Every structure is written in C-alpha cells, then in structure tokens.
Amino acid sequence: MEEIQFNHILPIQLRFNDIDKFGHVNNTVYFSFYDLGKTEYFASVCPHVNWEKDGIVVVHIEAEFLSQIYASDHIAVQTAVTEIGTKSFHLVQQVIDQKSKEVKCVCTSIMVAFDLTKHESKPLEEEWIEAICRYEGRDLRKKKGR
C-alpha cells in the first residue's frame, strides 16, 4: 500500500467517559472519533451538500488497533479519500498522537452515496468527485480494469 498523505486533520478532545476502567480509551470510542473526522472532512471539502436529501453511508469498515490511548494523550484524526468509484469511495483514517505522531489506530472504510428520499444508493455527484480530487491533490477515480 502506498504511503497516504493526510491533508485533513481534526484534533480530538478526550472526554471523561471515553476512558474505560483500564485507564485507556475503549476501542468502541475510536469509531466516534472516525465519525467526527468524516463529518468535518465533508463539511470542509464538500460544503454545498444538501444533507437532507443526500447521504453518505458506511458499507464496510475495519480498524486495526496499534497502541493504547490514555486520558493524558493529545490525539487527532487524519482523514483521506484514496479511491473513488461510481457510487462509492474508499476512506482511510488514523488516530495519531499529536506530539509524537505515533499512529494509534488505522481505519479503512468503503462509503456509498445514498439518496435519503428514495432510500437507495446513487452515483456520486460530479461536484463531490471534483472537490475531493482537488482537495487530495490528485485524480482518485477508479480506472477501468483495475
């Protein structure tokens, strides 16, 4: 896998209830961090989306936990789109320690554009594709035969 450049970073404030009885962030909480990162990514990269009509849903997600996060850590979520298809795109996110840059967890997901009025998947808007490619600094459209 090629090295990913993360242009989007969101500092995360840890809350008291994020910490479990073992003194570290519970693994289920990581997904709320990733949700915050996704939400902020799309709010800044595609600001004109009508979220009452259009949605983006997770159809596959997996996480690899590499290191524990403690209450005293200063963390951030990095988010990048790595590939864009007709109706879906691949998202890579990681939680890092802001001081040491240590990667704490890596999350990969496949997201699908969704019509909230018809309750079905739909092609990605060309405006979204262009905005994401511009933000990521390269053409991410899936090539035929790949």
Residue 144 lies in a domain: no
Residue 143 lies in a domain: no
Residue 33 lies in a domain: yes
* Length in residues, the chain: 146
Contact present, 93 and 103 (Cβ < 8 Å): no
The b/e string for 60-73 (b: 16+ C-beta within 10 A; e otherwise) is eeebeeeeebeeeb
Residue 146 lies in a domain: no
Token output for 59: 């159809």
Contact present, 4 and 96 (Cβ < 8 Å): no
Residue 35 lies in a domain: yes
Domains contained in the chain, number: 1
Contact present, 67 and 40 (Cβ < 8 Å): no
pTM: 0.92
Residue 80 lies in a domain: yes
Assign residue 131 the CATH number of its domain: 3.10.129.10
Task: Tell me the residue range of the domain where 131 lies.
Answer: 8-136
C-beta pairs of 48-52 under 8 Å, 24+ apart in sequence: 48/127, 49/125, 49/128, 52/116
Residue 116 lies in a domain: yes
What would the pLDDT profile of 33-68 be if each residue is shown by its tens digit?
999 999 999 999 998 888 889 899 999 999 999 999
What would the pLDDT profile of 108-139 be if each residue is shown by its tens digit?
999 999 999 999 999 999 999 999 999 999 99
| Rounded Cα distance, 108 and 82, in Å | 10
Residue 1 lies in a domain: no
